[in-house]
Structures are given as C-alpha cells and as structure tokens.
A = this chain, B = another copy of it.
C-alpha cells in the first residue's frame, strides 16, 4: 500500500531508520562493554523487542506488569520492571516469574518487606535492584545520606529477595540547556551509583549491576565508569525533543505522523487532522525554546519545513500557522515529527512500518493500554 492511499492520521515508522537506531545504540553499548536492556515503553511492540534482542540486547524493561505479560506471552525471556511495582500485584508477578527471568526495583523499605514476605511464603526469590535518585527527584532513595547504605543493607538481608544492584534514571537530563550540562548529569549519575556501590562493598555487600538509562545521556556511556547496563527506550524512534537535546539527527528520527489538511480557513492557517488525541499535549524539551506541538517535515521526512508552526491542538485538529500563501490545500498530506514519540505510539493500536512511499508491515502496539 502507498502512503498516499492511507486514511489519516497514521503513525509511520521508517523501517530502515528504526533498524539502524537499534544497531547503532547496540554497537555503542557493546563497544563500551555494557549490556543494553532497552525500555519497551516507547514501542510497546513484542516484534521490535525481539529485533532488539536478536541484535544483542540482554533483555528488555517494562514499566507495567501488564506490559510484561504481553512481552512474556510473545516469547521475551528476560524482563526488568524498572518500576517500584506495588505488592498488590503479587499474584501476577509470581505468574510472570514462572515464565521469564524477572526483576523489579525497590526504593521503600515497607514495600520491600512486603515483597520479601510474599516471596518467602511462596518459596521463591525475586531479583531486585535498589532505585537511586540521581537528581531527578521522582522515585529512588537519596544516595547522599548514611540511610542509603542502611537501605541497601536492609534489602540485602531480606529473605526472598536477591539484591542484584543499583538502578537510576537521569530524567533531569531532559531539562538540560546545554550539551555540557547533559554530560555533567551523566558523569554525576555514574559517580553517585559507583560511590554507593563502593560503600556497600566496604560493608561486605557485592552489588553486581549498575544500571542507568535515558536516551539523552546514552551518548556519554564511555564517560560513565562502572556502569554495567544501559536502559534507553526512546532511541528506537527518537523525536523532536531528542533532536533538540542533541541526541538525534533528523535522519535518524524514525517516527512521523502522517496527517491530512482538512481545512484552510485563512491564507496563513491550515487545519490538520492530528490533534491532541494523536500528537498529545506533551511539549518539546531542548537546549533552545521549542514552542508548539511538533515540526512539519517535507514530504519524504528529510528536512524541517520552517514555514509551519503547529500552534494549537484540539482533540482532533491541529491549528497550523504558515506563511501567507502556502500552496497547501485541503486533501494535501504532511508528515510531522512529534515532540514525544513514546506518548504518540501509546495513542494508537498499530504503527505502520514504511520504506519510502510504501507501507511494508502493520505492527500492533500490543502492550498499549495495559493496567498496572
């Protein structure tokens, strides 16, 4: 099928760019001597997870038990729930442990104790990593205090849990305003983790794994001494935010949204059929200010068309300001690089793998919309 014959809006994935991204980041991890364990939140596709593993990934990450269930059912054998999974999901976690090598993260003693009791009672052992706050101030223990080592010691002592190591996410990298700031964040991240690992070693606790992961900082992996695992997600597709953070080039961005001009109420305004229920209201981050809801590209997605600004989204409309007298007319198609690929994929039941102007394959977003 030709792109020109598709109903819109559609989420398109450039197959060649996708596979090149998977291979390039795998090569980077391999060269740095670290395991790559991609986060599947971006694609939510067992097929893409399998391609990542075939090209060298050690396994995958999921955020939700429901996503891990879909990936396990599709044959993925090694899954890390990079999330402080609540013990109310114990029955499903135990069922998953029967099928795959599973690990979760912990950052709260009462939660870890509950998991410990559940596992001990089931006569099972659950692999866990301690989540460490490296500056994002979301989840994770505060590494700067003596309590951090106490926490590691407590987890290590709990029956039914096997403490594998430390894990972090430098989500504050998305707020960086310069390349240098990003590099400092990456270097501090590994420093914080290896410091805590060394303190644990002095206390007689061997922490095997030091796991980091975020697409903006992955290019500094060779500066992150002591790291054993990299967990980026977004790099398979990239997006406007990664472009604006220097993590991607336009010709590596694999995901675009194909949209149709549905109205042209004024000479300098066109309306597209991709609103917040397609592009989402996520704003772009980046070193420079990045207003609007995505970038309009030229037809083959090789250049940004600077004459368009996606100023406003309604649920099913994008209001686009353009130069006076744009040749675009209702019925014409445009391709958009969205601000944030992960949330765009999460809006659709399938994405379309494309090569040039041809649709090659329909890929279900099979792990979308799962609970817990």
* Interface 1/0 per residue, A293-319 and B, CB below 8 Å: 000000000000000000010111101
Query: Of B9, B108, B171, which one neighbours A263 at CB under 8 angstroms?
Result: B108
Across the interface, name the chain B residue whose C-beta is closest to A42: B315
The reply to whether the CB of A87 lies closer than 8 angstroms to some CB of chain B is yes
A41 cross-chain contacts in B, Cβ below 8 A: 315-316
A280 within 8 A of B: yes
Judge if A85 is at the interface, Cβ distance under 8 Å: yes
Alpha-carbon separation in the docked complex, A107 to B330 (Å)? 11
Q: A263-B139, A265-B140, A330-B108 are in contact. Are A369 and B343 (CB under 8 A)?
A: no
CA distance A347 to B277 in the complex (A): 9
A189 interface residue, CB < 8 Å from B? Answer: no
Q: A271-B138, A369-B348 are in contact. Are A133 and B265 (CB under 8 A)?
A: yes
User: A85 to B84, alpha carbons, bound, how many Å?
Assistant: 45
B contact residues around A1 at 8 Å (CB): none
- Which residue on B lies nearest to A8, using beta carbons? B372
User: When the two chains form their complex, are residues A107 and B265 in contact, meaning their CB atoms are under 8 A apart?
Assistant: yes
Chain B, Cβ-Cβ closest to A66: B7
CB pair B281–A111 under 8 Å, yes or no, is: no
Nearest Cβ distance between residue A210 and chain B, in whole angstroms?
A: 20
Total copies of the chain: 2
A188 within 8 A of B: no
- Contact call B316/A64, Cβ cutoff below 8 A: yes
Known A-B contacts A265-B140, A280-B281, A282-B276; the reply to A9 vs B371 at CB < 8 A is yes
**A23 CA to B336 CA, complexed, in Å:** 42
Report A1 CB to chain B, min CB distance, Å: 13
Prevailing SS type, chain A contact patch = loop
A92 to B6, CA, bound (A): 13
A141 part of interface (Cβ distance < 8 Å):
yes
Residues of A131-188 contacting chain B, CB below 8 A = 133, 137-142, 171
Q: In the bound complex, how far is the Cα of B27 from the Cα of A133, in angstroms?
A: 54
Structural contact, A262 and B141, CB atoms closer than 8 A: no
Tell me if A331 counts as interface (CB < 8 A to partner B): yes
Decide if B349 touches A369 in the complex (CB within 8 Å).
yes
Residues of B with C-beta under 8 A to A52: none
Residues of B contacting A283 in the complex (Cβ-Cβ under 8 angstroms): 281
Q: Which listed residue (B110, B316, B347, B371) contacts A8, Cβ 8 A?
A: B371
Contact A315 B343 (CB under 8 A): yes
In the assembled complex, the CB of A293 is this many whole angstroms from the nearest CB of chain B, namely 11
Pairwise interchain contact A271-B139, C-beta atoms closer than 8 A: yes
Report how far A142 CA is from B269 CA in the complex, Å.
13
Q: How far is the CB of A321 from chain B (nearest CB, A)?
A: 10
In the complex, A41→B314 CA distance in Å? 12
8 Å CB contacts to B: which residues of A1-57? Answer: 7-10, 41
CB distance from A343 to the nearest CB of B (A): 6
Q: Which residues of A contact B (CB under 8 A)?
A: 7-10, 41, 63-66, 83-89, 92, 107-108, 110-111, 114, 133, 137-142, 171, 260, 262-266, 269, 271, 273, 276-277, 280-283, 312, 314-317, 319, 329-331, 342-343, 346-349, 369, 371-372
Known: A137-B269, A171-B314; 9 extra A-B contacts, CB below 8 A, are A9-B371, A84-B262, A111-B262, A138-B312, A138-B317, A139-B263, A273-B372, A347-B347, A349-B369
What are 11 A-B pairs with beta-carbon distances under 8 A? Answer: A64-B316, A86-B260, A108-B330, A133-B265, A137-B265, A138-B314, A139-B317, A171-B314, A276-B343, A277-B343, A277-B346
